Amino acid sequence: MADSRSGDVLLVESIDRLSRLPAGDWAKLKASIDGKGLRIVALDLPTSHQGMRDTTGYEFTVRMLGAINNMMLDMMAAIARKDYEQRRARQAQGIEKAKIQGKYQGRPVDVSLHARVSELLAAGLGVRATALHANCSTTTVLKIRDRSQGGSLS
């Protein structure tokens, strides 16, 4: 976004590759894209590339395509979000079932990473600095820190 200029095209394979965001976050992203003056073209949304043709002098056509594309983008983003949420729910159900059956253990603990993170935290580094030095996410650092303070990772 920082490198884009008004009139640039944001080309995506599919709308679900652009957004699986909740409605409010999608609205913010879309407003940011609109604010930059970018045009979204999705390979799976034929009306989005219709506007790429020379429509000089056809203001009505341009406005109609814009309205259709905005409606279709919003619909497809909502569908992508619903699909994402359903997959996550089904995954959680499958994991829970596998746990009950004793077939799911989760990701194995990286003992050396845990030791490194604990060492860096004990040396007084903050969460971000620890994540940087241990080459992991801040979320991982927080989980390791919380576990060492008596919490659980389940």
* List of residues 6+ apart from 6 with CB closer than 8 A: 36, 37, 38
Residue 153 — pLDDT band, cuts 50, 70, 90? very low
On the CB side of 49, CA atoms within 13 Å amount to: 9
pLDDT tens sequence across 111-136: 999 999 999 999 999 999 999 999 99
Distance CA 99, CA 16 (A): 30
Contact status, residue 74 vs residue 47, Cβ threshold 8 Å: no
> What spatial distance separates the first Cα and last Cα of the chain, rounded to whole Å?
37
Helix (H) or strand (E) run with residue 96 in it: helix 59-100
CA angle 101–103–104, rounded 5-degree value: 110
Q: Calculate the average pLDDT of the chain.
A: 88
Of all residues in the chain, what percent carry a pLDDT higher than 90? 49
Q: Give the pair of three-digit tokens for residue 21.
A: 């965001």
3-class DSSP state for residue 7?
coil
Dihedral sign computed on CA atoms, order 25, 30, 31, 36: positive
pTM, 2 dp: 0.62
Q: Between 81 and 16, name the one with better pLDDT.
A: 81
Helix (H) or strand (E) run with residue 40 in it: strand 39-42
Residue 154 — pLDDT band, cuts 50, 70, 90? very low
